[in-house]
Structure 1
Amino acid sequence: MAGNSDPLTPRAKLAVTAGKAVAAASRAAGRGSGSVIGGRVALKLDPDLLARLAQNLDCVLVSATNGKTTTTRLIAEALRAAGPVVSNALGANMPAGITSALAGGSDAKFGVIEVDEKYLSGVARDTDPKCIALLNLSRDQLDRAAETRMLAENWREGLAGSKAVIVANADDPLVVWAASSSPNVIWVAAGQMWKDDAWSCPSCGGVMQRPGDDWFCGECGFRRPTPSWALSGDHVIDPHGSAWPIHLQLPGRANKANAATSAAVAAVFGVPPQVALERMYQVQAVAGRYDVVRFQGRDLRLLLAKNPAGWLETFSLIDPPPTPVILSVNARAADGTDTSWLWDVDYTRLTGHPICVIGDRKLDLAVRLEVADQQFQVCENLDQAVAACPPGRIEVIANYTAFQDLRRRVGN
């Protein structure tokens, strides 16, 4: 809990100093932010450093397959109404990156921390969070992550008996099952567009029934809990039934859902929905996502989509045909090297859009689009794709490292 005593031992202070020095050297060498390498060095010198840095903070952890970076940013903006915040805002979400971020927030009252799904239990153990937000679980990085039910199982075991308030999406059966081991859960009706990872009951393996927005297992009775917060159109409904308008600069239904969850989290810390939602309006882009940039005389909107659930949400927010679309897919280590997930994405939703395909795995994507009966051109790079697009703003959708490549090319 927040206090003023200095939690850092001399060893911990040495670890922080060394980590910052290594991070600065990495930045100077042009190797990125240096947060991960700096955090690794610091944790080598003091393995308990993350716990020490967190002990004077009221922490909230945010974990999910999709939306965690944006939701972390929205929660951080909301909590700034109540005091200084430290956050891993750029998405370095494993223990080294989190340690590095917290080391930079000496005057902070709150820690708002995005956590990779596979590390949630360990980070929760170290940081003793006041609140944990769980948004969704879906297939992602197939070569590296076990199937989604095993992730849910890890969450369920790791969060069992947790003192944290869990703010969880009532519309995702895997999240509900994972959160149900906790004694204190606030359920949010945030919606679930992608349902292909939740057709079987995580509790017994039976077939899920999905009438309307509801869901339940016909065999064991596991069912959707009653939410106390809900996204309803352009409003968040709070536990008293009051409707608060959502005004975001970020596009799409998924971000309204992120805002609803963020408002529920902010309320745990005493920030009222009206104040929380007003502060979220400040967020225009998150680590370059949703940015509109000028490139070769054209407006390009940069959109990140890393897995089938993310692509589905992204297709729902792009401008209608005939807006041109550039798709870029890589399969490097940070993306997951298995591109079979491309076959889970419904590319028929792009019918009517002129499409250009780039990226390391442009030919994998070309085959998938061919089967989906889409009209497209394969291009060598972004410059060639932009030149090939008909007039108007261009929507550019890319997965993780392809998105970083794009940002470098457009100077963003």
Structure 2
Amino acid sequence: MSGGLAWKAAVARGAGALSRRSGRGGTSLPGKVLLRLAPDAIGRLASGLSRGTAVISATNGKTTTAAMVAAVLEHGGVELVHNRQGANMAGGVASSLLAARGHGDFGLFEVDEFWLDRIEPELAPKAILLANLFRDQLDRYGELETIADRWAAVAASTRAQLVLNADDPLVADLGRGRDAVFFGVEDRSLAMAQMQHAADAKHCRTCGSPYRYDAIFLGHLGHFHCDVCGATRPVPSVSAQDVVLDGVRGARFSLVTPAGRAEVSLPLPGLYNVYNALGAAALGLSLGASLDDVVAGLHAVAPAFGRAESVRMGGRDVLLLLVKNPAGANEVLRTLVLEEGEHDLLAVLNDRTADGKDVSWVWDADFEVLAPKVRRVVCAGTRAPELALRLKYAGVPEDRIVVEAELDAALDLALADGSGRLVAIPTYTAMLELRELLASRGVVRGQFT
């Protein structure tokens, strides 16, 4: 590190230390300070990583997929610089590089979908995994096409190996005319009878005509083609076959790759995590990981906080499942429906900036599928009454719905009634608040933000 950058890095680290001592956390703060002092700091610090960098971006699943890739690479002996806590804008990436202090030989960074075009040139990655694009926070990011256009510009200019989801039309289109690595699900037994109301990408980016789907798996992910111009789903080189979804316990599938076939037992639930695992496998293999390392990493991965993590509290198991947009919520609901018996829920809906002020997306999520299996639900958060109303219209009886906006009191109410597992389904900022609450009660350790 040059002398000019060294003192600026010291100032940034000092600001972070001061913030932590004051109890404010601040994962991104040191990086934000550094970038104010040295706007090119990300590129300068990343250039010191001898084995280069890789980038992961998506609307859903970035943190979990990055954790999977980290497990794969570390099993192969790679020393990572990685924004493990999910701070995925410029400040968070800079903070991770700053915290490494010269240790680590490879950078693995999840990057917010709206920041990709600004951070990618700085990192100059060897490979970029683009996993999915779903409607999310329309008041902040606009329609999907806005981000798809920005991603297309990155795909056209980068020298990185593109690793793309073949089942997402918006993402698959980015590999047209490129030497991309595609991944996808080949098990059509998982196909839904019809496209969900919340599905997004329904029209061909080449000619604008409606796609025809031969199989729909998740939102708008599936096997698609255009009858007008002939655009079609690419054939994936990394795929999942013989998929078995074991409710909230996990998933099993056959991983088919150019390096061979292997059986994977994933300790994370849902088809959405099968997609995350496929992306991680494809990226890992593209970076030189062996198939054995890929399988071992996927078997060993631990859930990131709030993403299918389970904690013990008040004599009950509490399962934390993040929901933040219609597609993600639907997959969580679909996973819970696979479980026998009724569910006790703590549902938390916030409308803070990081959630998106527009929470109308809850009316697009298919809560109807879970309504018959809800024994009791406590609704909390800044928009608790609206969430309660949504659940009422979904078919949950009013006498099973409790509204308590304050999260602390809502958690106590949810824990007090019942003895089995409690499932918490918070939005993003609610998940962070729940983390702080659990830490204050000694259930989890350390700062998260």
Identify the TM-score tier after normalising by the shorter chain. Answer: over 0.9
* CA deviation vs aligned residue, 1:109-162 (integer Å, no higher than 9, x gap): 111100000111121111110000011001111211110011111100122042
Q: Work out whether 1:352 is the aligned partner of 2:341.
A: no
Q: Percent of pairs identical after alignment?
A: 35
* CA deviation vs aligned residue, 1:45-77 (integer Å, no higher than 9, x gap): 111110011113321100000000011111111
Amino acid at match of 1:246: V
Query: Which secondary structure state, in structure 1, belongs to the residue aligned with residue 255 of structure 2?
Result: strand
CA shift for structure 1 position 390 = 3.1
CA shift for structure 1 position 288 = 4.3
Q: Work out whether 1:286 is the aligned partner of 2:304.
A: yes
CA shift for structure 1 position 261 = 1.3
Paired residues of 1:357 and 1:385 also in contact (CA < 8 A): no
Paired residues of 1:155 and 1:179 also in contact (CA < 8 A): no
Q: How does 1:147-186 map to 2 (within 5 A)?
A: 147-180=143-176, 183-186=178-181
CA shift for structure 1 position 103 = 1.5
Q: Work out whether 1:410 is the aligned partner of 2:408.
A: no
Q: Alignment RMSD, CA only?
A: 1.9
CA shift for structure 1 position 387 = 4.3
Match of 1:238 among 230, 235, 257: 257
Partner of 1:374 in structure 2? 396
Amino acid at match of 1:325: L
Amino acid at match of 2:323: A
Q: How does 1:166-315 map to 2 (within 5 A)?
A: 166-180=162-176, 183-190=178-185, 196-212=199-215, 213-232=222-241, 233=243, 234-240=253-259, 242-315=260-333
Partner of 1:397 in structure 2? 425
CA shift for structure 1 position 39 = 0.7
Structure 2's unaligned 5+ residue stretches are 216-221, 244-252, 445-449
Partner of 2:340 in structure 1? 320
In structure 2, distance between residues paired with 1:59 and 1:378: 48
Q: Work out whether 1:341 is the aligned partner of 2:361.
A: yes
Paired residues of 2:238 and 2:256 also in contact (CA < 8 A): yes
Paired residues of 2:385 and 2:403 also in contact (CA < 8 A): no
In structure 2, distance between residues paired with 1:260 and 1:322: 31
* CA deviation vs aligned residue, 1:318-357 (integer Å, no higher than 9, x gap): 3333122221111111111111111110001212222222
In structure 2, distance between residues paired with 1:117 and 1:222: 25
Amino acid at match of 1:293: V
Match of 2:139 among 119, 139, 143: 143
Query: Which secondary structure state, in structure 2, belongs to the residue aligned with residue 243 of structure 1?
Result: strand
Query: Which secondary structure state, in structure 1, belongs to the residue aligned with residue 362 of structure 2?
Result: helix
Q: TM-score, normalised by structure 1?
A: 0.93
Q: TM-score, normalised by structure 2?
A: 0.85
Q: Which moved more, 1:353-362 or 1:330-339?
A: 353-362
Say if 1:161 and 1:408 are closer, same or farther in 2 by CA, change over 3 A. closer
In structure 2, distance between residues paired with 1:14 and 1:190: 49
CA shift for structure 1 position 383 = 3.2
Paired residues of 2:308 and 2:321 also in contact (CA < 8 A): yes
Paired residues of 2:212 and 2:227 also in contact (CA < 8 A): yes
Match of 1:48 among 40, 48, 69: 40
In structure 2, distance between residues paired with 1:228 and 1:407: 38
